[in-house]
């Protein structure tokens, strides 16, 4: 994991304006996609037609079309209402906190969840954006665990607090609910988080005033410890004894060259 650097003292007004602009852009993008879903459903209701035949039909060649079209279609207005708020919240969080990673993640979750349904789904027609919403929830939650920065943790907590029940909906339950779409979307969301959790730069860590105060207090303590345990430089060590110099009028006594004589009890040759 990347270690966030200290905040380089960016203008707070400019930073707030930038964050607000990115949040509004993510909100408009999510709202635009939801408006498209509602327009398609209203067209079905007003025209009396149904596009359910464009859903995912597992293990059929024609059913592969639903990998692309199924998230745009819903079986009823109630089904669409259930997905609307989740897509709005999770989509806004994803594109505002992770604008770079969210783009490929959406593509992977969209296509991967459809392919997962096509491979493991029951013999029925599967449609709806539930796989997309489940994928975004798991994407945000796993990214928060991996990155552990303030924005990521906040997004993960919001997503899990509001939609943590999606963890249980990936298991078989109501026969009218495509748990295969939920499971495939959740797996793709986890994979997307593992692949692209470094795609967005880590935000700088704010440095608080009390951290500067601690550094100022630690510096004199560190100097005292160094003075206590480190030896002084040689030039600073006081000289305890100086060899006295020879007196100028002193005399050197020469010792005579005395040859060694043998003992008295030994004869000389």
Token pair, residue 206, equals 């704010």
Domain assignment present for residue 73? The answer is yes
- 3 within domain boundaries: no
| CATH number of the domain enclosing 44 | 1.20.1540.10
Least Cα distance to 153 among 136, 138, 168, 140 occurs for 140
Tell me if 92 is assigned to some domain. yes
Q: What is the pLDDT of residue 59?
A: 93
Instruction: Map tokens 């994803």 to a residue.
Output: 94
Q: Mean pLDDT over residues 31-48, rounded?
A: 95
- Token digits for 141? 């939650």
- Min mean pLDDT across 20-34, 36-50, 231-245 is at 231-245
Closest CA to 54 of 33, 68, 43: 68
Q: Could you read off the pLDDT of 184-196 as tens digits, one per residue?
A: 999 999 999 999 9
The pair phi, psi for residue 205, each rounded to 5°, is: -85, 130
pLDDT for 50 beyond 50: yes
Within-domain flag for 205: no
> What pTM, to 2 d.p., does this model score?
0.73
Q: How far apart are CA 54 and CA 74, in angstroms?
A: 11
Q: Looking at residues 250-264, what average pLDDT do you find? A: 60
pLDDT band at 253 (very low <50, low <70, confident <90, very high): low
- Structure token pair of residue 126: 């599967």
Give the model's pLDDT for residue 201.
86
Name the least confident of 10-24, 82-96, 243-257.
243-257
Is position 251 within any domain?
A: no
Could you report the per-residue pLDDT of 89-122, keeping only the tens digit for each?
A: 999 999 999 999 999 999 999 999 999 999 999 9
Q: Distance (Å, rounded) from C-alpha 92 to C-alpha 218?
A: 44
Contact 198, 208 (CB under 8 A): no
The span from the CA of 159 to the CA of 146, in Å, is: 15
**172: containing domain:** 12-196
pLDDT digits (tens, 9 = 90+) for 135-155: 999 999 999 999 988 889 999
Q: Which long-range contacts (CB under 8 A, 24 or more apart) does 110-113 make?
A: 110/68, 110/71, 111/67, 111/68, 112/184, 112/185, 112/187, 112/188, 112/191, 113/71, 113/181, 113/184, 113/185, 113/188
Tell me whether residue 83 is in a domain. Answer: yes
The CA–CA distances, whole Å, from 269 to 262, 266 equal 11, 10
* Number of domain units in the chain: 1
Alpha-carbon span 249 to 255, nearest angstrom? 19
Least confident segment among 72-81, 114-123, 208-217: 208-217
With a cut of 80, say whether residue 38 has pLDDT above it.
Answer: yes
Lookup: tokens for 136: 């975004």
pLDDT at residue 4 greater than cutoff 60 = no
Kindly state whether residue 47 falls inside one of the protein's structural domains.
yes
Amino acid 94: pLDDT: 96
Tell me the pLDDT band of 251, cut-offs 50, 70 and 90: low
The verdict on residue 75 lying in a domain is: yes
The pLDDT, as a whole number, for residue 267 is: 44
């Amino acid at each position: 994991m990347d270690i966030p650097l200290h905040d380089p003292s960016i203008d707070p007004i400019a930073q707030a304006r930038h964050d607000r602009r990115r949040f509004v852009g993510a909100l408009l993008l999510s709202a635009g996609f939801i408006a498209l879903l509602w327009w398609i459903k209203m067209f079905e209701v007003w025209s009396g037609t149904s596009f359910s035949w464009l859903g995912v039909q597992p293990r059929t060649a024609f059913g592969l079309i639903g990998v692309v079209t199924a998230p745009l279609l819903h079986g009823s207005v109630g089904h669409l209402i259930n997905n609307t708020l989740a897509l709005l919240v999770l989509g806004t969080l994803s594109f505002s906190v992770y604008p770079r990673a969210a783009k490929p993640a959406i593509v992977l979750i969209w296509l991967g969840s459809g392919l997962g349904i096509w491979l493991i789904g029951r013999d029925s027609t599967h449609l709806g954006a539930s796989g997309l919403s489940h994928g975004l929830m798991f994407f945000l939650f796993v990214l928060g665990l991996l990155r552990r920065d303030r924005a990521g943790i906040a997004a993960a907590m919001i997503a899990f607090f509001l939609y943590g029940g999606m963890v249980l909906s990936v298991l078989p339950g109501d026969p009218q609910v495509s748990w295969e779409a939920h499971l495939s979307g959740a797996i793709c969301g986890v994979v997307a988080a593992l692949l692209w959790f470094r795609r967005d730069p880590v935000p700088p860590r704010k440095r608080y005033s009390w951290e500067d105060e601690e550094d100022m207090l630690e510096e004199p303590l560190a100097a005292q410890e160094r003075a206590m345990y480190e030896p002084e430089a040689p030039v600073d060590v006081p000289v305890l004894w100086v060899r006295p110099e020879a007196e100028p009028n002193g005399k050197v006594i020469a010792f005579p060259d005395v040859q060694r004589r043998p003992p008295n009890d030994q004869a000389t040759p």
